[in-house]
Structure 1
Amino acid sequence: MKNNRPASFSRLLSGVTVFALFLCSCSTISYVGDRYQPTDRIDVYYAERDVKSEYKVIGHLSELVGGINGEEQAKQNIIAKCREVGADGVIILGFQYSGSDEDKQYQKAQAIKYID
């Protein structure tokens, strides 16, 4: 079967696909809290009781989960944001759902700073 579409249509379709993938990969992270000098290393925890050092919570994070491998990408975006705001660690709190049909999933976290 012969493809009768003009070449410009194929280029347009390719461009739309790339743009859609770009939009899906954009971070939608929200951060509320204090900021310090950026850090290079972030300790990742999944429960507050696992943090063995004294710490204070310096901020709260929320990241919309979506796309392929969305949970892992959301976690990586949260870790990157924690580096940016100068946290020493992050406590991944789990997921929260919102929307009329609970169609949106957010990964929640707390940015922490160790107390010397």
Structure 2
Amino acid sequence: MKRLWAAVLALVGGSCVLAGCVTHDYVGSSFAPSSHVEVFYDASDVPAEYRVIGHDRAEATEYMTSEQIVQDIIKKAQSVGADAVLLGGVELVAVGATTNTSGEDLTKVKYYATQDGKLHTRHKQTGKWTQSSHTADVRDKVVTAEFLRKQ
């Protein structure tokens, strides 16, 4: 059962990766789209002629790589006219949990035939029950960035 659950999660996660499931929460100014965006990882590397035009919070499934999310951030930055992005942190945030529970009644079923040839069932009540449960956290990967534009 655990293998089935893992396969389902992998399939769903894989399809989101292929579909590009990145959501952006962008707050800031927009300009004509830009064709090239520089990427900075440290504020001390940003030249003085850049100014902040907005902040982006990109969220995707934890199965997407940070590089895939950064590529999507670059596309978003181009769409709002940014010339550069200053990447912030990467974090995993819990967005929920899924629980799968399965059980089995251990009642024994016996079959018997009557003299007229009809088949009947006889349930032997044992009062036993077996159950297993699996809970998995659902997490998203969040990458923050500042969008920059030359003055």
Q: Specify if TM > 0.5.
A: yes
Equivalent residue pairs, number: 98
1:42 counterpart letter in structure 2: V
**Structure 2: how far apart are the matches of 1:96 and 1:68?**
13
1:95–1:105 CA contact under 8 A, matched in 2 = yes
Provide structure 1 residue ranges, at least 5 long, that are not aligned to the other structure. Answer: 1-16
2:41 counterpart residue number: 46
Q: Secondary structure at the match of 1:99?
A: strand
1:28 counterpart letter in structure 2: T
Q: TM-score, normalising length from structure 1?
A: 0.71
Instruction: After TM superposition, give the deviation of residue 21 of structure 1 in Å.
Output: 0.9
Q: Would you identify which runs of 4 or more consecutive aligned residues in structure 1 move more than 6 Å? A: none
User: Where does 1:58-73 land on structure 2 (aligned, <5 Å)?
Assistant: 58-66=53-61, 68-73=63-68
The counterpart of 2:15, out of the listed 21, 34, 37, is 21
The counterpart of 2:93, out of the listed 94, 98, 113, is 98
Instruction: After TM superposition, give the deviation of residue 102 of structure 1 in Å.
Output: 8.9
Q: Given the alignment of the two structures, is residue 112 of structure 1 paired with residue 148 of structure 2, yes or no?
A: yes
RMSD: 2.6
> Deviations for 1:19-56, whole angstroms, at most 9, x for unmatched residues?
x7157522212211100010000010001110123221
Q: TM-score, normalising length from structure 2?
A: 0.56
Provide structure 2 residue ranges, at least 5 long, that are not aligned to the other structure. Answer: 1-10, 96-136
Change (3 A) 1:46 1:36: same
Q: Secondary structure at the match of 1:40?
A: coil
Identity %: 32
**Structure 1: how far apart are the matches of 2:58 and 2:21?**
11
Higher helix share: 1
